């Protein structure tokens, strides 16, 4: 009974660590849109809805997209990067999964200088699992993050030797998509890549 309760508690904690960053991000977006609706309301008052979407909502989304683009341009400035780095190391890095989500998001979006996580097949016991090399500990030894399915934002970290890893020549988004679809489509991604190598 105690083992069952412990497993339930651990699962709930993992779920909490997954939901908190997602909820924080969603709340921030919702708050930003709410504030922007108040700003664009006078301008949108003279316009009717477009394709059934109320004009204040549509303008708020457009303004938010433009602001994100301008912020992206500002983010390239050296002084802005120093401020961002300070915020990430002192505040944001304390949010569970933030560093991984940021790195993955940048890699998928093709951001220049983004952290490049190498997709791999990691041999764990008698099976292969999709994962990412997130850091080289020393030559031939790696920290490998193995995401869960269907949510790749929570998983487990393994420290593995090169002999237990197969590097995959595929996009990060393809790996995440396969995990989100609980393995559906893996025949296309992994055809000919699962040959067993005995040690």
**DSSP helix/strand/coil, 169:** coil
179, burial (CB in 10 Å: exposed 0-12, middle 13-18, buried 19+): buried
pLDDT of residue 16: 65
Question: What topology does CATH give the domain 118-190?
Answer: SH3 type barrels. (2.30.30)
Question: Which backbone phi and psi does 146 adopt, to 5 degrees?
Answer: -110, 105
C-alpha 198/C-alpha 121 separation (Å) is: 15
Structure confidence by residue, pLDDT tens digits, 167-177: 998 888 888 88
pLDDT of residue 182: 87
Is 193 in contact with 175 (CB distance < 8 Å)?
no
pLDDT of residue 111: 47
Residue with tokens 């949108």: 44
Nearest to 142 by CA among 164, 171, 114, 127: 164
C-alpha 110/C-alpha 113 separation (Å) is: 9
pLDDT of residue 101: 61
pLDDT of residue 161: 94
- Domain ranges (residues) in the chain: 2-96, 118-190
C-alpha 131/C-alpha 156 separation (Å) is: 9
pLDDT of residue 46: 60
Residues of the chain predicted below pLDDT 50: 110-114, 197-199
pLDDT of residue 74: 77
pLDDT of residue 125: 86
What pTM was computed for the model?
A: 0.49
Greatest alpha-carbon pair distance for the chain in Å reads 73
């Amino acid at each position: 009974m105690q083992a069952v309760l412990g497993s339930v508690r651990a699962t709930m904690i993992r779920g909490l660590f997954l939901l908190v960053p997602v909820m924080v991000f969603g709340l921030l977006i919702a708050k930003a849109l709410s504030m922007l609706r108040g700003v664009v309301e006078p301008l949108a008052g003279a316009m009717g809805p477009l394709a059934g979407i109320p004009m204040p909502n549509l303008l708020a989304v457009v303004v938010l997209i433009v602001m994100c683009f301008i912020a992206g341009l500002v983010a390239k400035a050296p002084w802005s990067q120093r401020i961002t780095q300070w915020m990430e190391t002192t505040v944001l890095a304390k949010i569970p999964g933030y560093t991984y989500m940021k790195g993955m998001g940048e890699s998928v979006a093709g951001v220049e200088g983004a952290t490049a996580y190498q997709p791999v097949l990691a041999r764990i016991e008698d099976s292969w699992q999709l994962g990412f090399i997130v850091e080289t500990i020393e030559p031939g030894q790696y920290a490998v993050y193995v995401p869960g399915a269907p949510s790749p934002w929570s998983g487990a970290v393994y420290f593995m030797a090169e002999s237990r890893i197969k590097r995959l020549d595929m996009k990060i988004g393809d790996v995440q998509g396969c995990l989100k679809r609980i393995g559906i489509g893996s025949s296309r991604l992994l055809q000919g890549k699962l040959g067993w190598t005995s040690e």
